């Protein structure tokens, strides 16, 4: 399952970077595309704005086939305070822009990619292609919620992958 989660994250990150290369963040001194996986980051009380945060919330396994089919629920959380130049009065417009980026990235054809094994990836070591693919459904946008001066949304995506022999 970890390879499927990693593969979906990398696919979404790369697609979002193509849709809006200016949406970046700085994590531990490194500028990178504005997408992070909460379980892979250090715990913090601060929730970054104007970036996409992935949270894996559920897993089901259907073992009735030659390979078990894993269905994972992914929440994509994002928020904005608006821009300081507009006194935050553009937060609805900025949230709508993020909605569009997410819809364009998740819904872009094909809604699948080859599953990759990122275990051990580091200096000089590349990810290894696996035998199956990761595929996903359309994004479902939750209601926009105002929290003080922040406007936030939780979107969901169902992600599917076949679990290969020996895969954890």
Residue 76: pLDDT band (50, 70, 90) is very high
Contact criterion met (CB below 8 Å) for 78 and 23: no
Q: Dmax of the chain from CA atoms?
A: 57
CATH code, domain carrying 70: 3.30.2000.30
Assigned domain for 168 exists: no
Assigned domain for 136 exists: yes
Contact criterion met (CB below 8 Å) for 19 and 37: no
Residue from 165, 143, 136, 126 nearest 12 by CA: 136
Number of domains in the chain: 1
Give pLDDT tens digits for 88-134: 788 989 999 999 999 999 999 999 999 999 887 776 788 899 999 99
Give pLDDT tens digits for 1-14: 899 999 999 999 99
Domain that holds residue 42: 2-162
Of residues 85 and 146, which shows the higher confidence score? 146
For 44, 70, 140, the CA distances from 61, given in Å and listed in that order, are 31, 5, 22
Assigned domain for 167 exists: no
């Amino acid at each position: 399952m970890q390879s499927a989660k990693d593969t979906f994250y990398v696919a979404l990150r790369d697609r979002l970077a193509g849709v809006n290369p200016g949406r970046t963040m700085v994590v531990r001194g490194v500028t990178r595309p504005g997408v992070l996986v909460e379980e892979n980051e250090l715990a913090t009380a601060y929730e970054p704005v104007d970036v996409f945060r992935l949270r894996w919330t559920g897993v089901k396994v259907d073992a009735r086939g030659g390979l078990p089919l894993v269905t994972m629920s992914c929440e994509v959380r994002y928020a904005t305070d608006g821009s300081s130049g507009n006194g935050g009065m553009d937060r609805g417009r900025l949230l709508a822009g993020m909605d569009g980026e997410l819809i364009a990235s998740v819904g872009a054809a094909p809604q699948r990619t080859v599953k990759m094994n990122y275990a051990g990836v580091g200096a000089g070591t590349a990810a290894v292609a696996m035998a199956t693919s990761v595929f996903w459904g359309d994004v479902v946008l939750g209601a926009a919620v105002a929290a003080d001066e922040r406007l936030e949304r939780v979107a969901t995506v169902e992600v599917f992958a076949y679990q290969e022999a020996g895969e954890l």
